[in-house]
């Protein structure tokens, strides 16, 4: 951020009076442009004993496997964002279930919120941000070709919970 | 947003190719400035059977009662944000517990994430954003002078769970 998005003046980075962190501040109009973490909303869609995963057609981590997830938008709930991402990335109609994981990803300034989900039918497909979409059983999960640590964490906790017959919320932090 | 924060050019609002929503886009440098919901991190601090509440010294809802909560910052976890807000608003040292509530507040583009918390000691006090801070029993909660619906929801669910001897996560959406 170099220019004030409100008045166009050059931005200064300084600690405002009464604050404790440096902020992007406009010396002309006085506006403080706060920067805060963004929410990644996603889900783990299942059909019977299988999980729907997709291979990324975009950077970062092009070619690696993931679960449908993406930036939450204004004017939607976290669960609606998770369902929308499933629709966009794997063309799937899902019923969102319980919250599975909240993962703080510090270096990207993101909070990943992953829900359990149920596929309403088998009419899924390859969305524009995916190379490939498939249903996998536990032993077929490509653990060494997963795109992100938060996806690895979500899959692990989901499988442990399923084996134990429970649905817990799991919190985690990644540097 | 009127000006590009990257190059200073005047912003246009239009649907980028491949997208489905209007975005703040710079016709000069091509950057798309996405706008996403922000996380409000907060907690419900308890000491034995009492809950710590505070009266707001700032707008919005000046003079109304609330729980310590505020914008999550970059480079902290949601739980750390909740503990920091307790430190700042009620000068309290809290141990953050389980996640109590996730409330989508659509009209403010916020997601409120409220944790159960335990006061480590009774050395709390009135921070610069509070007028008054006090411990209340259930029958002393000022239900008709609460600042926000998400606070009302969090207090209600907390008390119900406590009576039932459980700690559930409660999801809710406000228009």
Interface test with B, best of A6, A7, A37, A113 (most B CBs within 10 A): A37
The model's pTM is: 0.95
Residue with structure tokens 């077929």? A140
B33 touches chain A (CB under 8 A): yes
d(CA A146, CA A156): 12
pLDDT of residue A144: 98
Residues A38, B35: C-beta atoms closer than 8 Å: no
Residues A137, A63, single domain; the answer is yes
pLDDT of residue A18: 83
Residues B13, B79, single domain; the answer is no
A15 touches chain B (CB under 8 A): no
Contacts of residue A161, defined as CB under 8 A and 6 or more positions apart, other chains included, come to: A100, A167, A168
B128 touches chain A (CB under 8 A): yes
Note the pLDDT tens digit of each residue in A17-58.
888 899 999 999 999 999 999 999 999 999 999 999 999 999
What 3-state DSSP class applies to A1?
Answer: coil
Residues B47, B63, single domain; the answer is yes
Residues B22, B95, single domain; the answer is no
Phi/psi at A153 (5° precision): -60, -45
Interface test with B, best of A8, A13, A41 (most B CBs within 10 A): A8
Residues A52, A135, single domain; the answer is yes
**pLDDT score of A134 more than 90:** yes
Q: Please tell me the total count of domains within chain B.
A: 2
What 3-state DSSP class applies to B38?
Answer: strand
What's the ipTM?
Answer: 0.94
Residues B13, B48, single domain; the answer is no
pLDDT of residue B20: 86
Q: Where in the sequence is the domain holding A11, given as residue range(s)?
A: 1-35
d(CA B155, CA B135): 13
Q: What percent of chain A has pLDDT over 90?
A: 97
The H or E element containing residue A71 is: strand A69-71
pLDDT of residue A20: 86
Query: B43: domain CATH number?
Result: 3.90.79.10
Which residues make beta-bridge pairs with A56? A130
For residue B90, is it left (φ>0), alpha (ψ between -120 and 50) or beta?
A: alpha
pLDDT of residue B8: 94
Q: How far is CA B94 from CA B86, B87, B119, B122, in A?
A: 7, 8, 5, 10
Note the pLDDT tens digit of each residue in A139-173.
999 999 999 999 999 999 999 999 999 999 999 99
Per-residue pLDDT of chain B (175 residues; tens, 9 = 90+): 999 999 999 999 999 988 889 999 999 999 999 999 999 999 999 999 999 999 999 999 999 999 999 999 999 999 999 999 999 999 999 999 999 999 999 999 999 999 999 999 999 999 999 999 999 999 999 999 999 999 999 999 999 999 999 999 999 999 9
Interface test with A, best of B1, B6, B8 (most A CBs within 10 A): B8
| Alpha helix segments (H runs only) across A10-95 | 78-90
A174 touches chain B (CB under 8 A): no
Contacts of residue B30, defined as CB under 8 A and 6 or more positions apart, other chains included, come to: none
- Residue in chain A nearest B106 by alpha carbon: A75
Which residues make beta-bridge pairs with B112? B40, B103
pLDDT of residue B19: 87
Residues A30, A100, single domain; the answer is no
Contacts of B109 in chain A (CB under 8 A): 74-75
**pLDDT score of A113 more than 90:** yes
Distance in Å, alpha carbon of A73 to nearest chain B alpha carbon: 5
Helix, strand, coil percentages, rounded to 5, for chain A:
20, 40, 40
pLDDT of residue A154: 98
Query: B16: domain CATH number?
Result: 2.20.70.10
Q: A74 vs A19, which has greater pLDDT?
A: A74
Residues B65, B8, single domain; the answer is no
- Cβ pair A119, A92 in contact under 8 A: yes
CB-facing half-sphere around the CA of B136: CA atoms within 13 A: 19
Q: What are the DSSP E strand ranges found in B57-156?
A: 65-66, 69-71, 94-105, 110-119, 130-136
Residues A91, A20, single domain; the answer is no
């Amino acid at each position: 951020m170099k220019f004030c998005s409100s008045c166009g003046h050059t931005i200064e980075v300084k600690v405002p009076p009464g604050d404790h962190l440096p902020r992007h501040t406009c010396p002309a109009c006085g506006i403080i442009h706060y920067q805060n973490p963004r929410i990644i909303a996603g889900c783990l869609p299942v059909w019977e004993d299988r999980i729907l995963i997709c291979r990324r057609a975009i950077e970062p981590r092009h070619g690696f496997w993931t679960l449908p997830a993406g930036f939450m938008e204004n004017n939607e709930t976290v669960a609606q964002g998770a369902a929308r991402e499933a629709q966009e990335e794997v063309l799937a109609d899902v019923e969102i279930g319980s919250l599975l994981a909240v993962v703080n990803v510090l270096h990207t300034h993101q909070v990943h919120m992953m829900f359990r989900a149920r596929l309403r039918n088998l009419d899924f497909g390859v969305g524009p941000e995916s190379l490939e979409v498939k249903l996998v059983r536990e032993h077929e999960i490509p653990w060494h070709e997963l795109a992100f640590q938060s996806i690895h964490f979500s899959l692990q906790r989901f499988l442990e919970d399923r084996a134990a017959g429970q649905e817990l919320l799991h919190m985690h932090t990644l540097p």
